[in-house]
Structure 1
Amino acid sequence: MKSFRFENIWMLSHRDKKARKVNFHPKKNLLRGRNHTGKTSLIRSLFETLGAKPQGKLESWDENTASLLEFSVDGSHFFALHQNGRRALFNADREMIVATSNFGEWSQAFCDVTKFNLVFTDKKESEIRSADPACFFLPFYVNQDGSWQSEWSTFNGLKRFSSPWGAILEYFTGVCPPEYYRARAERAQESKILDEHRREYRLLERAIERFSRTLPLFGPKVSAENFADEIALLTKEVNELNQKQEVLRSAAVREQDLLSSLEQQIRLADDALAAYDHDAKYLRAGDSEPLICPTCNAEHTKSFLDLLNFAEDARVLRELAGRLRDDANQVRRRCDAALAELNSLNENYQRISRLLDTRKGELKFQDVVGSIGAESAFAAFEAERKQLQEAIDKALSSVDALEEKMKSLRAAKRTRAILDDFRSYYVAGRVALQLPSVDASKMKLTGRPDLSGSGGPRSILAYYAALWRTCQGATGTYDIPVVIDSPNQQAQDDINLPAVLKFIAKELPKDMQLIVGLETSTDFPFDKEIHLDVKYSMLREDQWDEAEQIVEPLLKAMYATMSSDVAESDDETTGR
């Protein structure tokens, strides 16, 4: 399992000449401060520096504030610098890796250093794209503006991917390895290519058909190669007709046999009903003699129950006869349809026969001249047809191979085990958060709860906690910091809020890094507390000099690199 940690962050406002440095403990951090003291600004800076923009906006915040974040991946340290959409990445020695204002280029650099190799299909461009930092942090950041509801709206921009939520959760919980999603994205791309080739092939077939109505493609050929192509085309058409004819003949024979059987059953049912009518008339006769058994000479009187049972048997028999007639009508229609298709095939056979017969007659100069234009068109059409068919076969082979690869990568037994753990964690979390127990046996990874009132945020917290515990399990792929801002949602009372804080402080995985934003102090233990106490002034004047010495040289290096890249691009454009 790969490990990601927040280490330090420096924020620098040139407009206000203020700055702030915050150091994070590798485990539990409490970010405490009243409303408007900068908790959300600090937390948002962590993610915006790395290219993941949370929902919502900030008031009284300098948009040009520069932020430098030190983070580590499996013990290797990096520095990410951001100012108003421009970003740079440095290694532990503060040597530049990349400097760019292009979000796609930055996302690729982030994925490279974190080894985050999840991919998606871009909905607009229909191409495979690497996931971005927002995908990386989505399951681990609970913000005030978009996370405490029933939808995934924590970060901006994720909707450009095609249904990313399920893939992100399955990636981090280990349901499917990263190779599965790369194969899925490649299959989606190959499927679109296959559909496009098939569409072009159908258009070509229609073009050939329309062209043949005005200028026949069949007739005397000057070129031996084109004549051979035409024979091959006729042979292919005859073979296809033979295959269709065999299928239709078999279907017609089966339907006729079934129809004969149904008609025989209908006749037997009608005969039985006729016998019933005769027997019923005898039983209802009031002056008829008692029934005498020919074996023991016992007399049997006609009871009402006997007549009733006899009538019920007749009713069932009538219903059976009706159903048999309905079935026979359906079979008869299918049989007629098969015979009609056979007749249309016979017409095609006759057409091909007439074309072949024309080759036996004496060639005329007018036939040759009239055939020259058709011959050229035929050669062009046939070449295009072969090219498209080869492309279709290649794309179809790729789709089949990728589907087989996906099947081999997704193990049903492992998936069930992971989902069972996730569901049990969710149920346990609800109980710890003083919510009623529920049946979660069919709950999905993407099944965010949708409860109203104070129970809503607690059910969301139980859901997130189940995801975090599952990601920390044996099949998880990353150990990523969990950030919660803020757990006091929907006016939790004096009973539920302590339960929420206790759950966060004691029930979450012990080894993960945790950052919690909270308005008031708490008696539950945290490894480090960061106190913000001045409204609308999270940055401080007394930290400006130290932060400027660290951040400013990196800012200059970033802008110098970006200016150099622009100059080189201009030289290439002007040819200098």
Structure 2
Amino acid sequence: MPTVKFKNLYLLSQVEKRALHVPLRSQKLLIQGANGFGKSVIMKSLYETLGATPNKIDDRWKKANVSSCLEFEFAGAIWFSVKAHGVLSLFDDKGNRQFWGLRLVKDWGPKLAEFFGFKLEMVDKDGETLTPPPAYLFAPFYIDQDGSWDNTWVSFRQDFYLPESARTLADYHSGIRPDGYYAAKAELTKEKIVLSSLETAVDTLRQAMTQIEEIEGTTPIYDLQEFASECDDLVAESESLLVLQARHRRTISDLHEESHLVRAEVALLRNTLNEMRGEFDLASSLPHQVECPTCGYEYQNSLTERFALIEDEGVLSKALTEAKYKLGRLTEKELAERGKLDEISASLTRVQKILETEKQSLSLNDVLVATGKTEAAKLLRVSLNEKIVAAEGSRNKTELLRASMSKFTERTRTTEIMKFYRSRLSMYSQELDVHLDAPEKQSIVSINVARGSEGPRALLAYYYAFLYTKIKFTTSIRFPVVIDSPNQQGQDKVHLPQMLKFIFDHVPDDVQTIVATEDASGLKFEGVAIATYGEAKRQILRENEFDRVKNIFDPFFQKILAAE
């Protein structure tokens, strides 16, 4: 099975001039620290850097405008996911930008899903089929302190907005409805659209055939008044189209002018940013005391002034990203308007050709009409037969896809999965000193959680029972298990060590585990690395790491800002 392993996490705030490097190479890692010292910030940043939205983000953290970079190993290669300047980007180990996105659902999500082989397809409230946000991929692997210890499938509550998310997540990740089911479902959705189009074409052609057959063999009678009325209608349609054409041309002109202004703004911001970087490099190369060549007075080349340049660079970088995004949207709108204008032009051409034909003498039409009706009927019959055959083929394909979906949801398979899951849940509950009512009837979507300290332990039993079920019955990708603050609801001196020991002892062999807790002093776990972060309360980032971490980000920043 494909497996992801985290290597390093880098956090950078150019506003605060602070940064942090978190090594993650240990297979089992315990991050400890008192409340308010930032350990949860590290945990939330891991999957946030890959595009999942944490449940809660501190206001101070938002104001710090922190960029994050997650180095990870996947498919025998090293990759870097970077969240900076309002976009998410994936780089290879040579610094090449593989893909990027501003929007989780429209841009980043589908590209990341393809990269990791994530085939889940869902339907939104408007009936549109789409690839869900990245949080749906990471859901079984992240236990968040702001919700996951109270209920299941809420680790990224904001991202789980699609209908029946909890049921879909449980079915997909447990293997009850695996990749094959959703791949067939996606194909079925597309084929239904094709079939609907073919069936509509068949109905239309049959109606046309009926109308042809009803008048075939009769002598046409022409009404000059009707002829004049028809011409008047065509002239009116032509005038209406000309008005629409003029309106769309004005819109295109306005959009083109606005795009020109924004393009100039992008160029100005980019040049200003380059000049500012030059000033910073110059300031960095000069001594602390600089003598004025005119007056001879010595001026301080202070760190404060150089940091001000960096802060201005951050503001300009953000403005540049926003301007480029605005330019992209304007370009899209202009292309859409040009498409509408082309449609109107095509309609005008059609009307004008009809008018030219109508202006010909009736005698020519009289000569051709009888033969034309016969030929038209022949052509319609040929087209109708082709559409009927195509519709039948499409109908057979939809039935095969439905059968394929049914194969993945056979009762015997579902029963086997549920039996395994409930067996694990019962076993883990006993190990964690949890009493479950009727474990043989427990749902795979959620469990009935007891009140008090027993509740978090019951949820931990559920998460691990589900994790092992996923590993046994699916071949999908495995991510590191990230567990934030298991000490919930006042776990005592017996149960907290019991939970921590359970977490590290029962994690699957090839799955990396990262846990954050308040205090692990006095506890010994075999093969577990322990790290402590946070120099002061509500201050996880460090001044002395700023320059080193910024050097790591700089090549990524250059590629992000240089992209058109």
Q: Which residue of 2 aligns with 1:35?
A: 35
Helix, strand or coil for the counterpart of 2:9?
Answer: strand
Structure 1 position 145, deviation (Å): 2.1
**What is the CA–CA distance in structure 2 between the aligned matches of 1:174 and 1:97, rounded to whole Å?**
30
* Contact residue 120 and residue 172 of structure 2 kept, 8 A: no
1:531-563 deviation line (CA, Å, top 9, x unaligned): 335211100001011101111221121111xxx
Superposed, 1:131-530 pairs within 5 Å as 131-156=132-157, 158-159=159-160, 161=162, 163-191=164-192, 393-410=392-409, 412-473=411-472, 475-524=474-523, 526-530=528-532
Greater displacement, 14-23 / 126-135: 126-135
Aligned pair count? 412
Distance in 1, Cα, partners of 2:125 & 2:191: 16
Aligned partner letter, 2:533? H
Cα offset, 1:503, TM superposition:
2.1
Alpha-carbon separation, structure 2, partners of 1:465 and 1:454? 18
The equivalent of 2:58 in structure 1 is: 58
Post-superposition CA distance 1:181-227 (Å, at most 9, x none): 11022224444665687789899999999xx9xx99999999xxxxx
Instruction: Give 2:540's aligned residue.
Output: 538
Q: Percent identity?
A: 28
The one-letter amino acid of 1:144's match is Q
Change in Cα spacing, 1:109 to 1:380, as seen in structure 2 (3 Å) is: closer
Q: CA deviation at 1:49?
A: 1.1
TM-superposed deviation, 1:78: 0.2
Shift of residue 68, structure 1, vs aligned partner:
1.1
Structure 1 residue 381 displacement after superposition = 11
Alpha carbons of structure 1 residues 436 and 100: separation in structure 2 relative to 1, 3 Å: closer
Q: Name the structure 1 match of 2:44.
A: 44
In structure 1, give the amino acid aligned to 2:20: R
Would the alpha carbon gap of residues 528 and 75 (structure 1) be closer, same or farther in structure 2, given more than 3 Å must change?
farther
TM-fit CA distance, 1:104: 4.5
When normalised by structure 1's length, the TM-score is: 0.61
Residues 382 and 218 of structure 1: CA distance in aligned 2, closer, same or farther (over 3 Å): farther
Q: Which residue is equivalent to 1:74? A: 75
Instruction: Write out per-residue CA displacement over residues 219-276 of structure 1, whole angstroms, 9 at most, x where no aligned residue.
Output: 9999xxxxxxxxxxxxxxxxxxxxxxxxxxxxxxxxxxxxxxxxxxxxxxxxxxxxxx
**For 1:479, what is the secondary structure of its paired residue?**
coil
Which string of whole-angstrom CA distances, capped at 9 and with x for unpartnered residues, describes residues 121-164 of structure 1? 34256454334421221111011223223352222554454545
Instruction: Answer whether contact 2:32 2:530 (CA < 8 A) is retained.
Output: no
Corresponding letter in the other structure for 1:544: F
Q: Distance in 2 between matches of 1:450 and 1:192?
A: 44
Taking a change above 3 Å as real, the CA distance of residues 192 and 100 of structure 1, as seen in their structure-2 partners, is: closer
Matched with 1:119 is 120
Q: Distance in 1 between matches of 2:155 and 2:388?
A: 46
Once the two structures are TM-superposed, the CA of residue 69 in structure 1 deviates from its matched residue by 0.9
Shift in Å, 1:400: 0.3
Which amino acid letter does the alignment assign opposite residue 553 of structure 2? V
1:82 deviates by 0.8
Residue matched to 1:25: 25
173 and 124 in structure 1: CA distance in 2 versus 1, 3 angstrom threshold: closer
Q: Which residue of 1 aligns with 2:554?
A: 552
Q: Which amino acid aligns with 1:58?
A: D
Q: For the Cα contact (< 8 Å) 1:120–1:164, is it kept in 2?
A: no
Alignment CA distance shift 1:505-1:408 (3 Å): closer
CA drift at 1:486: 1.6
Alpha-carbon shift at residue 112 of structure 1 (Å): 6.2
Q: Normalized against structure 2, the TM-score is what?
A: 0.62
Amino acid at match of 2:138: F
1:129 matched residue in structure 2: 130
Q: Secondary structure at the match of 1:135?
A: helix
Q: Measure, in 1, the Cα distance between the counterparts of 2:220 and 2:380.
A: 15
Measure the CA separation in 2 of the matches of 1:493 and 1:218. 96
Shift of 1:458: 1.9
CA distance in 2, matches of 1:5, 1:52: 17
- In structure 2, the gaps of 5 or more residues are 222-369
Distance of 1:35 and 1:453 partners within structure 2:
21
Matched position secondary structure for 1:97:
strand
Q: Which amino acid is the alignment partner of residue 142 of structure 1?
A: I
Which structure has the larger Rg?
A: 1
SS of the equivalent of 1:2 reads coil
User: What is the CA-CA distance between 1:470 and the residue it aligns to?
Assistant: 2.4
Counterpart of 2:418 in structure 1: which amino acid? L
Query: Take 2:216 and 2:42, find their aligned partners in 1: how far apart are those partners?
Result: 75
* Contact 1:52/1:155 (8 A) holds in 2: yes
Instruction: Give the Cα–Cα distance (whole angstroms) in 1 for the partners of residues 116 and 137 of structure 2.
Output: 11
> Which secondary structure state, in structure 2, belongs to the residue aligned with residue 441 of structure 1?
helix
Deviations 1:391-444 (A, max 9, x none): 754542232020122234456544433332211111111111211144333434
2:387 and 2:423 mapped to 1: Cα distance? 53
2: distance between equivalents of 1:489 and 1:38?
A: 17
Change beyond 3 A, Cα 1:165–1:388: farther
CA distance in 1 between counterparts of 2:436 and 2:560 reads: 54
> Residues 109 and 206 from structure 1, CA distance in 2 versus in 1: closer, same or farther, beyond 3 angstroms?
closer
Distance 2:97 2:8 in 1: 18
Supply the AA of the counterpart residue of 2:99. V
What's 2:104 paired with? 103
SS of match in other structure, 2:472:
coil
Residue type matched to 2:44 in 1? R
8 Å CA contact retained: 1:12, 1:548: yes
CA distance in 1, matches of 2:204, 2:64: 54
> Is the 2:34–2:519 Cα contact (8 Å) retained in structure 1?
yes
* 8 Å CA contact 1:471, 1:479 repeated in 2: no
